[in-house]
Amino acid sequence: MFRKLIFDIIIGIGGIFLSLKLSQSSTIKFISGISYDGSFKVVLITGLFLGIVNFLVKPLIRFIFLPIRIITFNFFSLVIDMGLIWLVVGVFSPIKIEGIIPLFWLAFIIKSLSFIFNV
């Protein structure tokens, strides 16, 4: 259980850091609409909160929306991830996400990192 919490925190930090780097890169502009120009400590704290929310709240939300997840072949899990990221970044962090497309890519990156590290 403690291992999953640490895993969720590492994935949250890594996903936010990677998406910020992809949005601020001058050579590869993969994601546009995520902006932050402060210290790395804020990215760590935001990833920490995201990992804790994913560990505590996400299983309950996934259970509540189980019928919708079954109907949509688990695509709705990405929508759940987007909502949790939007909540954490909106409340705890000065990181700005402008629009639903950058939020989608951030959730996709975090979901992909989670999948890769689970394998």
Cβ distance 84 to 43 under 8 Å?
Answer: no
Cβ distance 85 to 103 under 8 Å?
Answer: yes
pTM score over 0.85: yes
CA distances 14 to 19, 66, 81, 112, Å, are 8, 27, 15, 11
- For residue 29, what pLDDT is reported? 67
The domain spans of the chain are 2-114
Which residues neighbour 96 within 8 Å (Cβ) at sequence distance 6 or greater? 34, 35, 36
3-state percent helix, strand, coil for the chain, nearest multiple of 5: 75, 5, 20
Over residues 42-82, the pLDDT tens digits come to 889 999 999 999 999 999 999 999 999 999 999 999 999 99
CA distances 110 to 13, 33, 67, 69, 79, Å, are 9, 17, 23, 18, 12
CA distances 65 to 37, 74, 108, Å, are 36, 10, 19
Over residues 11-52, the pLDDT tens digits come to 999 999 998 888 877 676 677 888 887 788 988 999 999 999
